[in-house]
Homo-oligomer: A and B are copies of this chain.
Amino acid sequence: MDFQLNAEQVLLRDSLAGFLADRYDLARSREAATSAEGWQPGVWRAFAEDLGVLGVALPADAGGSGGGPVEVSVVAEELGRALVIEPFVDTVVLGGGVLRRAEAIDLLTGIGAGTVRIAPALLEPGSAHTAHDVAVTAHVDDGGWKLTGEKTVVTGVRFATHLLLSARTAGEQRDHDGISLFLVPFDAASPPDGLRVHGYRTIDDRHAADLVLDGLRVPGDGLLGVRDRGWDLLGPALDETVAAICAEAVGCLRRILADTVAYAKERRQFGQPIGSFQVLQHRMVDMHIEVEQAAAAALLATLRLEDGPCERARAVAAAKVTVSRAARFVGQNAVQLHGGMGMSQELAVGHYFKRLTAIEYEWGASDQHRSRYTGLSRATGVTPAE
């Protein structure tokens, strides 16, 4: 029973927090988001070279520091606190999680070095937030593959070096078996034949795109892991991804709560700070309690990631339910207590609210994970990694 970060973890947290405080200005990061480039490559380089956060969870033989879930959550929480839009979770946690299991050492090395950036192309127009709902098909085509179908809300495409594509090679649309994963080198400036890219921004200032795969050719070595067994790689990596997003949310939540409390102390109406009104005090207390529960839930998920599949999935589902609830309650009330200013882009709160709104639904909102939790609790045939 130990709730303390060890010395290395504290160092990691403090150095990253220090860097972001100095170098990651909210306004500038929003400008970058709306710019053609869509991100700050210099920040990414610093993550790789100066801070080593991209290799934090990579094995030593990939040049990583061999950290685990705790290190990832420490990084994710700090990135959330600073509202960082650069694709740490997509590339390092999701992409890295899949490639680690596929034992793709070179690519992992590239992730740590910042030269490999992965855009996960998993969701589809007909899939809701369920990654095993795959209709895109892959057919063998002289030594390689031919992919057909549509992917949607593929984040990070603008500056990705690779696409991580899920496609169905067997089974029915929602089967966990019969999904194969492909890694496809990619350059937004010149998409390959058979791939149309429709780019757009998200409400939380990410760059994303719809992909239309019209017989996209992928060489044979583009297949990750075993044919039809893609879920063996993707399922656990997605649980790690959700846990990391929960940690990111905790960072957002702590910041938006702190901003709200500070605003309530300083904003005066009726001759007194609005923070002196008992109704608003109790509202902020309830926000505080939601944040503490979200943090505890994220921690639970983090520390269960290396347990058995059921234990892991149950804790991750519980965390996502808790974090989604907190993201909504705390986000909405932070706006409410800021009044009109909370709805504008002039303060940080509005930007954090939008990210928290995206997180509420990302990889499934409360209902989805509550049902999953129920299924796991009763152990009634729900795939642990669903």
Which A residues are closer than 8 A to B by beta carbons? 277-279, 282
Contacts and interface: CB of A to CB of B under 8 A. Distances in A.
5 contacts: A277-B278, A278-B278, A278-B279, A279-B279, A279-B282
Stoichiometry (number of copies): 2
A278 B277 CA distance: 7
A189 B278 CA distance: 59
A278 B282 CA distance: 10
Nearest to A277: B278
Contacts of A277: 278
A155 to B, nearest CB: 35
Nearest to A281: B279
A150 to B, nearest CB: 30
Contacts of A279: 278-279, 282
Nearest to A279: B278
Nearest to A280: B278
A86 to B, nearest CB: 42
Contacts of A282: 279
A20 to B, nearest CB: 37
The 5 closest A-B pairs by CB, nearest first: A278-B278, A278-B279, A279-B282, A279-B279, A277-B278
A286 to B, nearest CB: 11
A46 B277 CA distance: 52
A167 to B, nearest CB: 36
A217 B282 CA distance: 63
A367 to B, nearest CB: 15
A276 to B, nearest CB: 10
A134 to B, nearest CB: 30
A314 B345 CA distance: 44
A282 B286 CA distance: 15
Contacts of A278: 277-279
